[in-house]
Structure 1
Amino acid sequence: AAFLAMKSTGGKLLVFPSTWPSTGIGSLSAREAEGRSNISVGDKEARKLLQLADKILKTMAIEFAEYQVCVDLFITTQSDVDIASLSVMPRTTGGQVYYYYPFSALSDSAKLYNDLRWNVTRPQGFEAVMRVRCSQGIQVQEYSGNFCRRIPTDVGLPA
């Protein structure tokens, strides 16, 4: 619903999940229920925990970036969440993940307040596109950071 409201103008979406997204599009379930736990697993199984649980989240993230909507997550939870899946949205849209685990209103409220205050008051730019040009014989091998690349030559930075 928030995306539909921001679709025509773009902007920054601040999301405060405190539990698993358990219903609707992009809903997730505990990986233990799927037999994918982080308790005493080998390297091969551990790598699976770093992969997206649902590809629809990546598709949604690309659509958000296409309409210049940046997503920041402030995860305030008492239980484990699937950061690997949830963080695809901020990574693709130029946003950031703030993770407070286990969240305590007594000890974490000042940090949450300061992070949120900095997030909305810092200097920001919106709807940027970056293109790196190199001299002949030199090329970019890899880009690093939170952004979306819809075409090979441009890096989209919603915020």
Structure 2
Amino acid sequence: MMVVSDLDDVFVPLPDDLLVNLSESRNVVETFLDSLPSMFQDNVNVESAFGPALKAAFMVMSQLGGKLLIFQNTLPSLGYGRLKLRGDDIRVYGTDKEHTLRLPEDPFYKQMAADLTKYQIGVNIYAFSDKYTDIASLGTLAKYTGGQVYYYPSFQSNIHGEKLRHELARDLTRETAWEAVMRIRWIRFTSYHGNFMLRSTDLLALPAVDCDKAYAMQLSLEETLLSTPTVYFQVALLYPSNV
């Protein structure tokens, strides 16, 4: 195991040797996954250096792109992107400030999402905590990279285990289009909704897209539309490869 303890100047110790081909190294990957439960079972440190770990993963994946799966069980508390425990302030609930709890707290996550999208990396987040985790901030990574958030509050294997197995298996095996962009032509839309990065006024960047994703658009009714009985528009989804 290699440990990078510097949280302010993250680097990758072996930049070319941390990604492996699954078909060639399946035994190594499975051995690593099997050892995870015991590797940190005696750890009593509950701090989370989520931001630095995210930066390191970005450095590793930026040469290839792909999909990053994040499994998080506590509030990020060290290094870049550390978050405050703002969800416990009960005085905010029922006031005009309550909506702020649903907004990202730290711009670090949106900036990271922009960088990830630029290098065609989609992010899916699996959150398990029984305490406040600030999904509004963490979810920004999935929102702007075409990803998805899976939330298992107060995770218990006997309750959520089968759901997690099913969703993780589908996440890993469903057909996915990579490095995609989507554009709708011939009608002016005023807003777009869904998980993507709006690269220009009408171009949606989707590092990874699959059949479980949905997008909504709000169109503008102009005079030319109101005077014609039929309106056409074209949706174009372009991607170089799918697996």
TM-score (norm 2): 0.60
- What are the within-5 Å matches in structure 2 for residues 56-95 of structure 1? 56-95=108-147
Q: CA deviation at 1:52?
A: 1.2
- What one-letter code is carried by the residue in structure 2 that aligns with 1:23? L
Once residues 72 and 21 of structure 1 are traced to their aligned partners in structure 2, the CA distance between those partners, rounded to angstroms, is: 17
Q: CA deviation at 1:42?
A: 2.9
Return the index of the structure with the highest Cα Rg. Answer: 2
Which residue of 1 is the match for residue 97 of structure 2? 45
Tell me how many residue pairs correspond in the alignment: 153
Q: CA deviation at 1:63?
A: 0.8
Q: CA deviation at 1:106?
A: 2.1
- The change in CA–CA distance for 1:39 and 1:118 in structure 2 (over 3 A counts) is farther
Note if 1:149 corresponds to 2:204.
Answer: no
Deviations 1:75-129 (A, max 9, x none): 0112121111111000000000000001112211111111100001111111001
- What one-letter code is carried by the residue in structure 2 that aligns with 1:99? Y
- The change in CA–CA distance for 1:98 and 1:38 in structure 2 (over 3 A counts) is farther
Give the match's secondary structure for 1:113: helix
Partner residue of 1:14 out of 69, 84, 97:
69
The answer as to whether partners of 1:18 and 1:77 remain within 8 angstroms in 2 is yes
Q: CA deviation at 1:41?
A: 2.4
Q: CA RMSD in A?
A: 1.5
Once residues 145 and 92 of structure 2 are traced to their aligned partners in structure 1, the CA distance between those partners, rounded to angstroms, is: 34
The answer as to whether partners of 1:38 and 1:49 remain within 8 angstroms in 2 is no
The answer as to whether partners of 1:73 and 1:98 remain within 8 angstroms in 2 is yes
Give the match's secondary structure for 1:44: coil
Q: CA deviation at 1:150?
A: 2.4
The answer as to whether partners of 1:15 and 1:72 remain within 8 angstroms in 2 is yes
Once residues 151 and 206 of structure 2 are traced to their aligned partners in structure 1, the CA distance between those partners, rounded to angstroms, is: 22
Unaligned runs of 5+ in 2: 1-55, 209-243
Which residue of 2 is the match for residue 97 of structure 1? 149
Q: CA deviation at 1:31?
A: 0.5
Higher relative contact order (CA 8 A, sep 6+): 1
- What one-letter code is carried by the residue in structure 1 that aligns with 2:59? L
Give the match's secondary structure for 2:158: helix
Q: CA deviation at 1:144?
A: 1.3
Which 4+ residue blocks in structure 1 deviate beyond 6 angstroms? none
- Percent identity between the aligned chains? 39
Give the match's secondary structure for 1:130: strand
Give the match's secondary structure for 1:132: strand
TM-score (norm 1): 0.90
Note if 1:5 corresponds to 2:74.
Answer: no
